[in-house]
Amino acid sequence: MGSESCVKLPVIDFSNLKQDSRSTPTWESTKAQVRAALEEYGCFEAVLDQIPLTLRQSTIHGIKQLFDLPLQTKIRNRSNKPYHGYVGQYAIVPLYESLGIEDALSPGKIDTFSNLMWPDGNPTFSKSIECFSEQLSEMDRLVRRMVVESLGLEKYMDEHLESTDYLVRVQKYDAPRSDETKLGLTSHTDKNIVTILYHNEVKGLEVLTKDGHWIDADSSLINSFIVMIGESLYAWTNGRLHAPYHRVMMRGDEPRYSIGLFSIPKAGYIIKAPEEMVDDEHPLLFKPFDHVQFLDFYYTEAGQRSPAALKAYCGA
């Protein structure tokens, strides 16, 4: 089914919000919008003026430089976790290529990645990615605070916010040639807590609505980002929020570049729905699980075949 252009993601303004903005009318209004958007769509468009245009431009420029490097350089980006290192050369999605920086906001991690890609380093790239990621992490924490507050789970706030690390992934989707598929990335749900995406001017992101329609889901403004939740937050809220299926469909003759910040549950942290989220109307959906162990299952043959891998892995 094609994309339904008449339906649009909610647009929510975060420009005047900070971590200390809580309990103000603006905070309460924005929190209500976030909750409603994540219940209905699992994602929304967030407007954020705090990230300067020059930083957004230098970040995209650095990503283009990165993907211009030889393949033998890019494949140095290795990880023992699926989709945390270099990904590319897949027959099913020949247009897609990406690299990852694990635990990206820990001191020195981005510099280490940069030095791996460029023998003499690339301070401009490192500074842009670091500053950009720090700004997105502030938005991640704002969104998650709003979710926790809106559900009345404030006593779990500190534990929830400290339960994650950050993965930065940069992605390139080549323009389709006449003999290639337009599919940039197959339909999937994210498995983490929250994903925040920013892209160049080339569109392609689509989200599947609850009633089965694909809708355009790219940022419509130069200073906005796409915020999306993954199955780990869906499980923690016991299904109160919606983790959406999404894909990338390429059109035109220009490549798409994007950067994503993913809040990832730490290894060993057990995701368990708070008791307040379980009642007669909302029976427990999933047994407690370790996100890393779930990923190990998800990338097995059985996990890839399953239409609902989390349910197959730990459904209650």
pLDDT of 45 higher than 90: yes
Longest dimension (CA), the chain: 60
DSSP conformational letter for 286: B
> Is this prediction's pTM over 0.85?
yes
Q: How many CA atoms lie within 13 A of 52 on its CB side?
A: 5
Tens digit of pLDDT for each residue in 232-274? 999 999 999 999 999 999 988 899 999 999 999 998 999 999 9
Burial of 128 (0-12, 13-18, 19+ CB in 10 A): buried
Q: 58 phi and psi, to 5 degrees?
A: -70, -30
CA–CA distance, 46 with 28 (Å, rounded to integer): 16
Q: What is the pLDDT of residues 129-152, one digit of tens each?
A: 999 999 999 999 999 999 999 999
Distance of alpha carbon 195 from alpha carbon 264, whole angstroms: 9
Question: Does 67 or 15 have the greater pLDDT score?
Answer: 67
Domains defined for the chain, CATH in brackets: 11-267 (2.60.120.330)
What pLDDT, in 10s, does the model give residues 73-90?
999 999 988 788 999 978
| CA-based torsion, 173, 57, 17, 27: positive or negative | negative
Q: For the segment 164-212, what is each residue's pLDDT rounded down to a tens digit?
A: 999 999 999 999 876 666 889 999 999 999 999 999 999 999 999 999 9
Burial (CB < 10 A; 0-12, 13-18, 19+), residue 19, is exposed
Split at pLDDT 50, 70, 90, the class of 54 is very high
The residue among 173 and 307 whose pLDDT is bigger is 173
